[in-house]
Amino acid sequence: MELFGVLHLDELSHGLANLSMFPYFDMAHYVVSIMALREQPGVLEVSRLSPLACWFSSMLFCFGGAVLSAIMLAEPAVAPLSNSTSVLLASMTWYLVFYCPMDLAYCCAALLPLRLVLSGMKEVTRTWKVLGGVTQAHSKYTDSLLVMIAIGWAKGAGGGLISNFEQLVRGVWKPETNELLKMSYPTKITLIGAVLFALQQTHYLPLQKHHLMLIYTLFTVVNKSRMMLTGSSVSPFAAIESTIYKTLFTGHSPYAALTAEVNKACIDKGATNGTTPTATIKGSKEKGAAGKHTPVSPVKEQSGSLKAKDESKNAETTNCKKKN
């Protein structure tokens, strides 16, 4: 890549590729993950009433990717526990975020500038995890692009992909939501990363590994910072996704009416807040509710949950502000 030479980025990318994740970046990953857990509705109650369930949930947030990819590759699921230093670090983080006197740890880390830095550092670990997964799969299944993508994705976004079972640990069960039905931004960016690194590994993508690492890391960090600063959730891929969806998955089917409706909803939403097509599944499911059997109304439940989340966030902010 001439461009890298011209811009003197070669050294930077080499430097980045040789960066060690332990301990600072790993630590940032633990802090941001466990804070995300704490901000889930109902978690504070669980943390007071069953510290063990709370600890186990936190570990799944921190090491979910390693556990999921281990299960997929028939390697010991318990292996992440054998790295005592990491588990100790994650457990200390868990303790400080949930039980620190005066709630100091959480309130400090929740301050925007610090949270911005920590989130950026967490995004950097994503590159390493995805690459680790792809490389591991490559060493077992040399030619299988799909396996590489699957393991890279699982390693990078494992916490999200196993969220149904992580919630079960806390006594929460929401079968109507999962990351395959409605992908969140981190899961999506990880999938794209897994595809790119798998293509690089099999030489379909004419880029050197450290160059791709630099580009991908820069993109994830910048995008995450942008989303945090603007408070927007506009996915940078909304337009591409919409195009792919309209090209491949609509067609002139007997369900054209349904599809058109969905499309319309997508375009409407895309124009206003960049929601991707899959985001409308809730509403449309309701319309087609005759063929769908969920114990409670998902829409009602979700709006309830969102409200609760908002309230809990407000409560947090108020608490922190009062003290700061």
The torsion angles phi and psi of 118, rounded to 5 degrees, stand at -60, -45
- Give the closest residue to 197 by CA, choosing from 186, 208, 187, 184: 208
**Which of 1, 36, 87, 227 is the binder for its own copies (CB under 8 A)?**
87
Closest distance between its own copies and the C-beta of residue 53, in Å? Answer: 4
Per CB under 8 A, the segment of 7-15, 18-26, 35-43, 221-229 that binds its own copies is 35-43
141-170 binders of its own copies (CB under 8 A): 141, 143-147, 150-151, 164, 168-170
Integer CA distances (angstroms), 72 to 48, 154, 218, 254, in order? 33, 9, 29, 38
**Which of 14, 115, 209, 285 is the binder for its own copies (CB under 8 A)?**
285
Per CB under 8 A, the segment of 28-36, 113-121, 222-230, 306-314 that binds its own copies is 306-314
**Which of 12, 14, 36, 50 is the binder for its own copies (CB under 8 A)?**
50
Q: Buried b vs exposed e over 146-182: b needs ≥16 C-beta within 10 Å?
A: ebbbbbbbbbbbbbbbbbeebbebbebebebbebeeb
Residue 304 binds to its own copies (criterion: CB under 8 A): yes
**Which of 22, 111, 267, 311 is the binder for its own copies (CB under 8 A)?**
311
Residue type, 216: Y
Q: Which is nearer to its own copies, 181 or 222 (CB)?
A: 181
Q: Which is nearer to its own copies, 157 or 169 (CB)?
A: 169
Q: Which is nearer to its own copies, 23 or 304 (CB)?
A: 304
Residue 258 binds to its own copies (criterion: CB under 8 A): yes
Q: Is the peptide bond before 23 cis (omega within 30 degrees of 0)?
A: yes
Query: How far is 4 from 218, CA to CA, in rounded Å?
Result: 14
User: Per-residue DSSP letters for 253-271?
Assistant: -TTHHHHHHHHHHHHHHHH
**Which of 18, 52, 139, 204 is the binder for its own copies (CB under 8 A)?**
52
Number of chain positions touching its own copies (CB under 8 A): 95
Q: Which is nearer to its own copies, 226 or 313 (CB)?
A: 313
Q: Is the dihedral of CA 206, 210, 216, 218 positive or negative?
A: negative
Closest distance between its own copies and the C-beta of residue 15, in Å? Answer: 33
Q: Is the dihedral of CA 266, 269, 272, 273 positive or negative?
A: negative
199-218 binders of its own copies (CB under 8 A): none
Residue 277 binds to its own copies (criterion: CB under 8 A): yes
62-81 binders of its own copies (CB under 8 A): 70-78, 81
Q: Enumerate residues 6+ apart whose C-beta is below 8 A from 312.
A: 39, 41, 44
The DSSP letter of residue 247 is H
215-244 binders of its own copies (CB under 8 A): none
Residue 192 binds to its own copies (criterion: CB under 8 A): no
Residue 257 binds to its own copies (criterion: CB under 8 A): no
CA torsion angle 76 78 81 82 (round to 10)? -40
**Which of 162, 183, 196, 214 is the binder for its own copies (CB under 8 A)?**
183
Residue 294 binds to its own copies (criterion: CB under 8 A): yes
Q: Quick count: other Cβ atoms within 10 Å of Cβ 126? A: 23
